[in-house]
């Protein structure tokens, strides 16, 4: 670790502490050359898979875009933000757990629909209507029947 003051490569770790939630390590360091002290933080960096779109193009996974999709579907619905955050967290954890470098956009869309179905039926139907490109009332009727049908687990 280079000293931010004199750019020397020689620094010593004086103290290391783990954060309360255990996902970050804080290190106090001292530069051997200039004797100044500074703090560094060590965290795990996880790489989300690339999203492969229907046309074959690839894009970086975009958490903002994912959250926007949830918020549009849930607009004016009585779903607490905490539950939305938990659903988004579960979805991203599932994507990471796949351990794949690429994931189909369709798969991500199905995951979003599954999480929305748990949160709010109206939001699920809203998202499905756009995601599945509903063309008429029959498409809505079919998805409403699907929602009303008891799920098999």
For 23-58, b where at least 16 C-beta lie within 10 A, e where not — what string?
eeeebebbbeeeeeeeeeeeeeeeeebebbeeeeee
Check if the beta carbon of residue 88 is closer than 8 Å to that of residue 96: no
Asked whether the whole model's pTM tops 0.75, one would answer no
Overall size of the chain counted in residues? 153
Residues 57-70 have pLDDT tens digits of 999 999 999 999 99
Measured distance CA(26)–CA(14) in Å, rounded: 11
Give per-residue pLDDT as tens, 103-120: 999 999 999 999 998 998
User: What is the arithmetic mean of pLDDT over 22-31?
Assistant: 92
Contact 46, 89 (CB under 8 A): no
pLDDT of residue 128: 80
Q: Where are the domains of the chain?
A: 11-43, 50-148
CA distance linking residue 101 with residue 103, whole number of Å = 7
For residue 125, how many other CB atoms are within 10 A of its CB? 19
Give 132's pLDDT tier (boundaries 50, 70, 90). Answer: low
Give the angle subtended at the CA of 150 by the CAs of 147 and 153, to the nearest 5°.
Answer: 115
Cα distance between residue 100 and residue 88, in whole Å: 18
**Number of Cβ within a 10 Å radius of residue 87:** 21
What is residue 129's predicted lDDT score, i.e. its pLDDT?
Answer: 79
């Amino acid at each position: 670790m280079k000293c931010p003051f004199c750019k020397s490569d020689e620094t010593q770790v004086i103290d290391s502490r783990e954060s309360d939630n255990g996902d970050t390590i804080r290190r106090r360091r001292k530069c051997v050359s200039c004797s100044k002290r500074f703090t560094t933080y060590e965290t795990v960096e996880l790489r989300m898979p690339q999203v492969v779109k229907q046309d074959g193009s690839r894009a970086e996974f975009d958490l903002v875009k994912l959250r926007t999709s949830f918020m549009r579907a849930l607009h004016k619905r009585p779903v607490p933000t905490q539950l939305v955050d938990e659903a988004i967290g579960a979805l991203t954890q599932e994507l990471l757990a796949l351990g794949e470098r690429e994931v189909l956009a369709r798969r991500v869309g199905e995951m979003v629909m599954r999480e929305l179905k748990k949160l709010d039926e109206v939001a699920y139907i809203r998202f499905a209507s756009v995601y599945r490109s509903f063309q008429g009332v029959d498409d809505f009727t079919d998805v409403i029947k699907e929602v009303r049908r008891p799920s098999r687990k």
